[in-house]
C-alpha cells in the first residue's frame, strides 16, 4: 500500500476527566474505503471526533504529510475533508438549500452530482431540514460532503444508522460513487455494506486499536469477527441499536 493519506498514531482523548481513547492507530489508504469497526461504545465516534479536533486530543494525526494536532477543526477541514457525523448534524432550522450552501467551499459546487444522487433534495430545497425524514437528512449530510470536488477525504460516521433498507441502498450507491474519486473513512455497523465497500478495516475495542487488515479477511473469519465485533453468524443483520452519545 502506498503512503497513507491519513495516519493516526497513539490518539488519546479525555472527555470530562474520563479517558475514552487510550491510543488508537489507524491508516487511511489514499484510495478506496477504509472501514472503522468496533462494538457499540468502543470509541469509533470519539476517534473520528478526535481526528477532526472536535474533542481535545493528543497523539499524532498526520494528514497529507502534515501534523494536524495543533490545528483547529476548520483549518483541517479546509484542507479538503468532508464529514458526515453520527447524528447527521443537519441544521434543523435551516432549509435544505441553506444547509447545502453553508457547506460550499469550492467556487463551483457540484450540485449536479448531489441532485443526481439524491433527486429528493432538489424538490425539497425550501423545506426546513428539521422536518425531513431521517433518510432525507442523511442525504443532506452526505450531499454536503459531495458538494466540494476539492475534498480529498470523506469521513462518514454510521451513515446508514437507523435507515430503511431502500435508503441504505441509496446511501451505499452514493458512497460507492464518491469512493471512486475520494478515499473514505467509514464507520459502519452494517457488515454487508462493509463487505461491499471496504478494502481495509481497522477495529477499535475499549479505546484502542485491536486489529487492522483487509476487510474481507476479517469478515471471512467468523471466530475473529465474533470476538472483535461481537457478531455471530448472522453478521449481515441490520445495524445495531443506536449508540449513546
Partner 1 sequence: MNVPAVNVASLLRRWWPVPALVVLVLLPYSALPLPGLLDGPIGSPGSLQLLALCLVFGALATGYDLLLGRTGLLSFGHALYFAAGTYATDLMLTQAGLGFWPAAGLGLLSGVVLATLLGSVSLRMTGIGFAMVTLAFAQAGSILVQRDPGGVTGGEEGLAATGLPGSLVGIQHTANLYWIALAYLVVTLVSVRWTVRSPIGRVWEGIRENERRVEVLGLRPYGFKLVAFVLAGTLAALGGVVYLLLTGGATPQTTTSDFTLSLLVMVVLGGSGTRWGPLVGGVLYTWAQHRLASLAGSGTIAGLPSVLRVPLSQPLFLLGVLFVIVVYALPGGVAGLPARVRARTVSRSVPRGVQA
Partner 2 sequence: MSTVVLLCITGLGLGALYFLVASGLSLIFGLMDVLNFAHGALLSVGAYATWWAASHSFGYPLALLFGTAVGTLASVALELGLIRPLYRRPREQVLATVGVGLAVPALLSAIWGADARTFPVPGALAGTFTLLGASVPVNRLVLIGAALVVLLALRLFLGRTRHGLVVRAGVEDRAMVTALGIDVRRAFTLVFAIGGAAAALAGGLAGLYFGSVDPTQGGSLLIFGFVVVVMGGLGSVSGAAVACVVVGLVQQFANYYSTAGLGDLSVVVMLAALLLVRPSGLTGRLA
Partner that binds at residue 70, options partner 2, partner 1, ligand ATP, none, CB closer than 5 to 8 Å by kind: partner 1
Our finding on whether 45 is near ligand ATP (CB under 6 A) is: yes
Q: How far is the CB of 139 from ligand ATP (least distance, A)?
A: 20
Grid cell locating 10: 497513539
Kindly report each contact of residues 228-232 with a partner whose C-beta sits within 8 Å and lies 24 or more positions away, as own/partner.
228/37, 228/38, 228/203, 229/37, 229/38, 229/39, 229/191, 229/203, 230/39, 231/191
Residue 12, judged by CB atoms within 10 A of its CB (0-12, 13-18, 19+), counts as: middle
Restricting to residues 54-113, name those near partner 2 by CB under 8 A: 54, 72-74, 77-78, 81, 83, 85, 89, 91-94, 98, 101-103, 105
Q: Where does this chain touch ligand ATP (CB under 6 A) — which range of 11-19, 70-78, 103-111, 210-218?
A: 11-19
Nearest residue (CB) to ligand ATP, 100 versus 185: 185
Our finding on whether 85 is near Mg ion (CB under 5 A) is: no
Residue-wise DSSP of 131-150: GS-HHHHHHHHHHHHHS-TT
Nearest residue (CB) to ligand ATP, 148 versus 209: 209
Residue from 2, 16, 107, 241 that binds partner 1 (CB under 8 A)? 16
Residue 230's contacts (CB-CB under 8 Å, 6 or more residues apart) are 39
Partner that binds at residue 103, options partner 2, Mg ion, partner 1, none, CB closer than 5 to 8 Å by kind: partner 2
Residue 95's contacts (CB-CB under 8 Å, 6 or more residues apart) are 125, 126, 127, 128, 129
- State the Cα–Cα distance between residues 169 and 188, nearest whole angstrom: 14
Residue 90 phi, psi (nearest 5): -85, 155
Residue from 75, 123, 131, 169 that binds partner 1 (CB under 8 A)? 75
Grid cell locating 48: 473520528
Residues that bind partner 1 (CB under 8 A): 16, 70-72, 75
Residues that bind partner 2 (CB under 8 A): 52, 54, 72-74, 77-78, 81, 83, 85, 89, 91-94, 98, 101-103, 105, 144
Residues that bind ligand ATP (CB under 6 A): 15-16, 18, 20, 38, 40-46, 86, 243-245
Amino acid at each position: 500500500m502506498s503512503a497513507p493519506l491519513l495516519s493516526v498514531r497513539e490518539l488519546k482523548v479525555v472527555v470530562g476527566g474520563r479517558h475514552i481513547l487510550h491510543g488508537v492507530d489507524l491508516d487511511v489508504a489514499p484510495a478506496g474505503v477504509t472501514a472503522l469497526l468496533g462494538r457499540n461504545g468502543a470509541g469509533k465516534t470519539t476517534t473520528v471526533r478526535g481526528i477532526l479536533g472536535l474533542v481535545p486530543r493528543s497523539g499524532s494525526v498526520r494528514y497529507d504529510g502534515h501534523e494536524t494536532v495543533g490545528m483547529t477543526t476548520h483549518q483541517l477541514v479546509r484542507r479538503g475533508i468532508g464529514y458526515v457525523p453520527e447524528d447527521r448534524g443537519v441544521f434543523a432550522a435551516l432549509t435544505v438549500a441553506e444547509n447545502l450552501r453553508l457547506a460550499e467551499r469550492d467556487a463551483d459546487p457540484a450540485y449536479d452530482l448531489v441532485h443526481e444522487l439524491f433527486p429528493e433534495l432538489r424538490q425539497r430545497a425550501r423545506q426546513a431540514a428539521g422536518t425531513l425524514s431521517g433518510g432525507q437528512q442523511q442525504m443532506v449530510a452526505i450531499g454536503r460532503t459531495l458538494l466540494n470536488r476539492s475534498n480529498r477525504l470523506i469521513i462518514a460516521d454510521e451513515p446508514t444508522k437507523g435507515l430503511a433498507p431502500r435508503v441504505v441502498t441509496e446511501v451505499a450507491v452514493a458512497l460507492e460513487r464518491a469512493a471512486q474519486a475520494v478515499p473514505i473513512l467509514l464507520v459502519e455497523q452494517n457488515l454487508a455494506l462493509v463487505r461491499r465497500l471496504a478494502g481495509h478495516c481497522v477495529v477499535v475495542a475499549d479505546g484502542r486499536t485491536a486489529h487492522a487488515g483487509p476487510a474481507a479477511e476479517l469478515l471471512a473469519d467468523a471466530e475473529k469477527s465474533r470476538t472483535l465485533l461481537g457478531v455471530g453468524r448472522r453478521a449481515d443483520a441490520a445495524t445495531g441499536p443506536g449508540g449513546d452519545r
